[in-house]
Amino acid sequence: MTGSVTKVQVLSIYKQLLRESQKFDSYSFRNYAVRRIKDTFKLNKSITQAIEVQKQYQIANENLGIIKRQVIIGKMYSSDKLVIENPSNK
Protein backbone atom coordinates (compact mmCIF):
# COMPACT_ATOMS: atom_id res chain seq x y z
CA MET A 1 0.00 0.00 0.00
CA THR A 2 1.40 3.36 -0.96
CA GLY A 3 0.52 6.76 0.40
CA SER A 4 -0.53 7.67 3.89
CA VAL A 5 -3.15 5.89 5.93
CA THR A 6 -6.14 8.01 6.90
CA LYS A 7 -7.93 8.08 10.23
CA VAL A 8 -10.99 6.61 8.51
CA GLN A 9 -8.94 3.63 7.33
CA VAL A 10 -7.54 3.07 10.82
CA LEU A 11 -11.02 3.16 12.37
CA SER A 12 -12.30 0.86 9.65
CA ILE A 13 -9.64 -1.80 10.26
CA TYR A 14 -10.27 -1.50 14.02
CA LYS A 15 -13.98 -2.18 13.52
CA GLN A 16 -13.26 -5.03 11.10
CA LEU A 17 -10.90 -6.66 13.59
CA LEU A 18 -13.44 -6.39 16.42
CA ARG A 19 -16.29 -7.63 14.23
CA GLU A 20 -14.32 -10.59 12.95
CA SER A 21 -13.05 -11.55 16.40
CA GLN A 22 -16.66 -11.75 17.65
CA LYS A 23 -17.11 -14.71 15.30
CA PHE A 24 -14.87 -16.99 17.37
CA ASP A 25 -16.88 -19.87 18.80
CA SER A 26 -14.53 -20.17 21.77
CA TYR A 27 -15.30 -17.76 24.59
CA SER A 28 -11.61 -17.62 25.55
CA PHE A 29 -10.36 -16.91 22.03
CA ARG A 30 -13.08 -14.32 21.49
CA ASN A 31 -12.32 -12.40 24.68
CA TYR A 32 -8.56 -12.66 24.19
CA ALA A 33 -8.75 -11.34 20.64
CA VAL A 34 -10.98 -8.40 21.59
CA ARG A 35 -8.75 -7.52 24.54
CA ARG A 36 -5.57 -7.67 22.44
CA ILE A 37 -7.10 -5.56 19.65
CA LYS A 38 -8.29 -2.85 22.05
CA ASP A 39 -5.02 -2.82 24.01
CA THR A 40 -2.88 -2.64 20.87
CA PHE A 41 -4.87 0.19 19.34
CA LYS A 42 -4.85 2.07 22.65
CA LEU A 43 -1.08 1.61 22.91
CA ASN A 44 -0.51 2.83 19.34
CA LYS A 45 -2.95 5.75 19.33
CA SER A 46 -0.16 8.27 19.99
CA ILE A 47 1.80 7.30 16.86
CA THR A 48 1.96 10.26 14.48
CA GLN A 49 4.72 9.37 12.02
CA ALA A 50 3.17 8.39 8.68
CA ILE A 51 5.65 5.56 8.11
CA GLU A 52 4.97 4.01 11.51
CA VAL A 53 1.18 4.39 11.09
CA GLN A 54 1.40 2.67 7.71
CA LYS A 55 3.51 -0.14 9.23
CA GLN A 56 1.00 -0.71 12.04
CA TYR A 57 -1.88 -0.57 9.55
CA GLN A 58 -0.19 -3.29 7.48
CA ILE A 59 0.28 -5.42 10.60
CA ALA A 60 -3.43 -4.94 11.44
CA ASN A 61 -4.39 -6.09 7.92
CA GLU A 62 -2.23 -9.20 8.29
CA ASN A 63 -3.78 -9.92 11.70
CA LEU A 64 -7.26 -9.52 10.20
CA GLY A 65 -6.42 -12.27 7.72
CA ILE A 66 -5.11 -14.47 10.54
CA ILE A 67 -8.27 -13.96 12.58
CA LYS A 68 -10.46 -14.80 9.57
CA ARG A 69 -8.55 -18.05 9.00
CA GLN A 70 -8.64 -18.97 12.68
CA VAL A 71 -12.40 -18.40 12.85
CA ILE A 72 -12.87 -20.83 9.96
CA ILE A 73 -10.61 -23.41 11.58
CA GLY A 74 -12.36 -22.92 14.92
CA LYS A 75 -15.73 -23.64 13.33
CA MET A 76 -14.35 -26.89 11.90
CA TYR A 77 -13.42 -28.11 15.40
CA SER A 78 -16.10 -26.47 17.50
CA SER A 79 -17.06 -27.72 20.94
CA ASP A 80 -19.85 -27.14 23.43
CA LYS A 81 -20.28 -23.68 24.89
CA LEU A 82 -18.95 -22.94 28.36
CA VAL A 83 -21.24 -22.53 31.34
CA ILE A 84 -20.63 -18.78 31.45
CA GLU A 85 -21.72 -18.43 27.83
CA ASN A 86 -25.09 -20.11 28.21
CA PRO A 87 -27.83 -17.77 29.35
CA SER A 88 -29.19 -18.76 32.73
CA ASN A 89 -32.88 -19.47 33.14
CA LYS A 90 -34.13 -16.65 35.32
Residue pLDDT, tens place only, 45-90: 999 899 999 999 999 999 999 999 999 998 888 777 777 776 665 4
What value, to the nearest 5°, has the Cα angle with vertex 20 and ends 17 and 24? 125
Q: What tens digit of pLDDT does each residue of 22-35 get?
A: 999 888 889 999 99
| Domain locations along the chain | 7-76
Distance CA 30, CA 34 (A): 6
Q: Does the model's pTM come out above 0.85?
A: no
What value, to the nearest 5°, has the Cα angle with vertex 78 and ends 75 and 79? 165
